[in-house]
Structure 1
Amino acid sequence: MTVQDPVTGRTRFAVVPASYVFLLRETDPGSGTGTEVLLQLRQNTGYMDGFWAAAAAGHVERGETAEAAARREALEEIAVADLELRFATAMQRTAHDLPIDERVDFFFTARSWSGEPRIVEPAKCADLRWFRLDALPEPVVPHEAVVLAGLRRGDLPALSHHGF
């Protein structure tokens, strides 16, 4: 999708920003058995239904920072607050199957929060489960799988790309 710049009159493409939160926890701390991530199974959203995805994610609203959007989405989707967010990566993404195909995604992790994660929007979320980073379910939303693989390996760059 393109928009016309009101100042220059030039045509530019529109970018949709979104924030994602991966809640992480250690399984049996001290045992070396690994890290788990909380994922939701999408349903009735019109995008990647039937795929596992970040437990909380959504568009950044006008006048909202990426961090504020991440906190809002976590409260709205899984009822957790007071997240200690850590920036993981920003992903420039193109998705040729969407009406607005240019995306900038901000990924955060959190290992500390208040509240017990639960499904708040059952019409959009069929399941909510913890999975080891080295034993993820199938299928995972493809661009999110890239981030999860980088988290598992410990080599996730600050800026990543998908779909180019």
Structure 2
Amino acid sequence: MWLHHQVNCSVHLFLIKEDNILLLKRCNTGYEDGKYSVVTGYLNPGEEIKAAMMREAREVVGIKLIPEDLDFVGILHRHDVEDRVDFFLTAAGWQGKVTNREPETCDELKWVPIFQLPDNMVPFVKKAILNFRNGILYDSYGWD
């Protein structure tokens, strides 16, 4: 008998401008509130990864992305509250002004130097950014 294990997937955007990365301070989510993360969201059933990232960028920070501008820069297999595969992407460009479109779950947007990340970050996101800086495409988190 075959047992199938379902894993949830998330997409995360490293939006970078002049060696600064856009961070969002989480609030009222029940998960890592008060810590910084990046534009992120769930992959909906039947949704392709780049399409999910474009949707989330529009919903969360009001920018328009096109598939050709998105590049995969990392995958993290995470064991946290549930098993999850996180896909990390960068955008070569975007249209629109970055604005906080979800103030109920994000109380701050800020650009920070990618080599001077704050201490109060969602731990797996910080690890993924460090991996990106070091050219590490795949890693795992929380399996120890």
| TM-score, normalised via structure 1 length | 0.81
The corresponding residue for 1:42 is 26
Between 1 and 2, higher relative CO (CA 8 Å, sep ≥ 6) is seen in: 2
- In 1, Cα distance between equivalents of 2:57 and 2:139: 23
> Out of 70, 77, 83, which is 2:53 matched to?
70
Q: Quick check: 2:74–2:87 contact (8 Å CA) kept in 1?
A: yes
Q: Quick check: 2:65–2:91 contact (8 Å CA) kept in 1?
A: no
| TM-score, normalised via structure 2 length | 0.92
> Out of 133, 142, 155, which is 2:114 matched to?
133
Aligned residue pairs total 141
- In 1, Cα distance between equivalents of 2:136 and 2:90: 12
Q: Quick check: 1:13–1:102 contact (8 Å CA) kept in 2?
A: no
Q: Quick check: 1:25–1:111 contact (8 Å CA) kept in 2?
A: no
> Out of 10, 13, 18, which is 1:18 matched to?
10
Give percent identity, aligned residues only: 32
> Out of 111, 117, 121, which is 2:92 matched to?
111
**1:162 equivalenced with 2:141 (yes/no):** yes
Q: Quick check: 1:17–1:60 contact (8 Å CA) kept in 2?
A: yes
Deviation of the 1:160 alpha carbon: 1.6
Q: Quick check: 1:86–1:110 contact (8 Å CA) kept in 2?
A: yes
- In 2, Cα distance between equivalents of 1:93 and 1:133: 23
- In 2, Cα distance between equivalents of 1:126 and 1:114: 23
Q: Which has the larger radius of gyration?
A: 1
Deviation of the 1:11 alpha carbon: 3.9
More moved, 138-147 vs 119-128: 138-147
Which amino acid counterpart does residue 70 of structure 1 have in structure 2? Answer: M
Gaps of 5+ in 2: none
Gaps of 5+ in 1: 1-7, 27-34
> Out of 122, 126, 139, which is 1:145 matched to?
126
Aligned-residue CA RMSD in angstroms? 1.3
